[in-house]
Structure 1
Amino acid sequence: MPRHTIDDIMTQTNARPATKHHGLSAKTLRRLERASGRLASASVVAMEQRLPWFSRLPADQRASVLMITQTGAAGFVDWLRDSQEALKLTTEAFRSAPQELSRWIGLRQAVGLVRLAIEVFEEQLPEFAANETEQAALIEGILRYGREIAFATANSYAAAAEARGAWDARLEALVVDGIVRGDAEESLLSRAAALGWDPGEKATVLVGPPSSDDPPTVVFEVRRLAARLGRPILLSVQGSRLVMVAGGPTDGSSRDDEVLGKLAIAFGEGAVVAGPTVASLAGAHRSATEALSGLRAVVGWPGAPRPVRSADLLPERALTGDPEAERLLIEEVAAPLEAAGPTLLHTVDAYLESGGVLETCAKTLFVHPNTVRYRLRRAAELTGRNAANPRDALVLRVALTVGRLARARGLW
Structure 2
Amino acid sequence: MNESSSDRTGRGRHGLSATTLRELERASGRLAQASVAAMEERLPWFNRMPAEQRAGVLLLTQAGAAGFVDWLRDSKEALKLTTDAFRGAPQELSRWLSLRQTVGLVRLAIEVFEEQLPELAADEAERAALIEGILRYGREIAFAAANSYAAAAESRGAWDARLEALVVDGIVRGETEESVLSRAAALGWDPAANATVLVGNPPSDDPPTVVFEVRSRAARIGRPVLLGVQGSRLVIVIAGPPADGNRGADILTGMSLAFAEGPVVAGPTVDSLAEAHHSAAEALSGLRAVVGWPAAPRPVRSIDLLPERALAGDAEAERLLIADIAKPLEEEAGPALLETVQTYLESGGVLETCARTLFVHPNTVRYRLRKAADLTGRDATDPRDALVLRIALTVGRLARARGLW
Question: TM tier, shorter chain?
Answer: over 0.9
Q: Does 1:121 align with 2:87?
A: no
Aligned mate of 1:247, from 239, 245, 267: 239
Pair 108,310 (structure 1): closer, same or farther in 2 beyond 3 Å: same
Partner of 2:60: 68
Judge which range, 364-373 or 145-154, deviates more.
364-373
Partner of 2:394: 401
Question: What TM-score do you get using the length of structure 1 for normalisation?
Answer: 0.93
CA contact (8 A) 1:358 1:372 kept: yes
Structure 2 counterparts to residues 372-411 of structure 1, below 5 A? 372-411=365-404
Partner of 2:7: none
SS of the aligned residue for 1:350 comes to helix
Give the partner amino acid of 2:260: G
Structure 2 counterparts to residues 262-281 of structure 1, below 5 A? 262-281=254-273
Judge which range, 33-42 or 181-190, deviates more.
181-190
Structure 2 counterparts to residues 13-412 of structure 1, below 5 A? 21-85=13-77, 87-250=79-242, 252-340=244-332, 341-412=334-405
Question: What TM-score do you get using the length of structure 2 for normalisation?
Answer: 0.94
Task: Quote the Cα distance in structure 2 between the aligned partners of 1:20 and 1:162.
Answer: 39
Residue deviations 1:372-395 (CA, integer Å, cap 9, x gap) = 122111111111000000000000
Task: Quote the Cα distance in structure 1 between the aligned partners of 2:12 and 2:178.
Answer: 61
CA contact (8 A) 2:243 2:249 kept: no
CA contact (8 A) 1:20 1:83 kept: no
CA contact (8 A) 1:79 1:85 kept: yes
Task: Quote the Cα distance in structure 2 between the aligned partners of 1:352 and 1:68.
Answer: 81
Number of paired residues?
394
Judge which range, 384-393 or 257-266, deviates more.
257-266
Judge which range, 202-211 or 137-146, deviates more.
137-146
Pair 219,251 (structure 1): closer, same or farther in 2 beyond 3 Å: closer
Task: Quote the Cα distance in structure 2 between the aligned partners of 1:387 and 1:49.
Answer: 79
- Alpha-carbon RMSD across the aligned residues, in angstroms, is 1.4
CA contact (8 A) 1:272 1:308 kept: yes
Deviation, 1:87, is 4.7
Task: Quote the Cα distance in structure 2 between the aligned partners of 1:22 and 1:116.
Answer: 23
Give the partner amino acid of 2:162: R
CA contact (8 A) 2:243 2:251 kept: no
CA contact (8 A) 2:176 2:274 kept: no
Deviation, 1:261, is 0.9
Task: Quote the Cα distance in structure 2 between the aligned partners of 1:280 and 1:58.
Answer: 37
Residue deviations 1:48-78 (CA, integer Å, cap 9, x gap) = 2222222332322222111110111011111
Residue deviations 1:69-114 (CA, integer Å, cap 9, x gap) = 0111011111112233465244123121111111221101101111
Task: Quote the Cα distance in structure 1 between the aligned partners of 2:195 and 2:13.
Answer: 64
Residue deviations 1:217-272 (CA, integer Å, cap 9, x gap) = 11112111111211111111222211100111125212211211111111111111
CA contact (8 A) 1:75 1:86 kept: no
Task: Quote the Cα distance in structure 2 between the aligned partners of 1:21 and 1:55.
Answer: 39
Task: Quote the Cα distance in structure 2 between the aligned partners of 1:288 and 1:20.
Answer: 69
CA contact (8 A) 1:200 1:279 kept: yes
SS of the aligned residue for 1:95 comes to coil
Q: Which of structure 1's runs of 4+ aligned residues deviate more than 3 A?
A: 84-87
List runs of 5+ in structure 1 lacking aligned partners: 1-18
Give the partner amino acid of 1:358: L
CA contact (8 A) 2:70 2:81 kept: no
Give the partner amino acid of 1:355: G
Give the share of equivalent positions with the same residue, in percent.
Answer: 79
Deviation, 1:115, is 1.0
CA contact (8 A) 1:75 1:87 kept: no
Task: Quote the Cα distance in structure 1 between the aligned partners of 2:79 and 2:314.
Answer: 66
Task: Quote the Cα distance in structure 2 between the aligned partners of 1:20 and 1:293.
Answer: 74
List runs of 5+ in structure 2 lacking aligned partners: 1-10
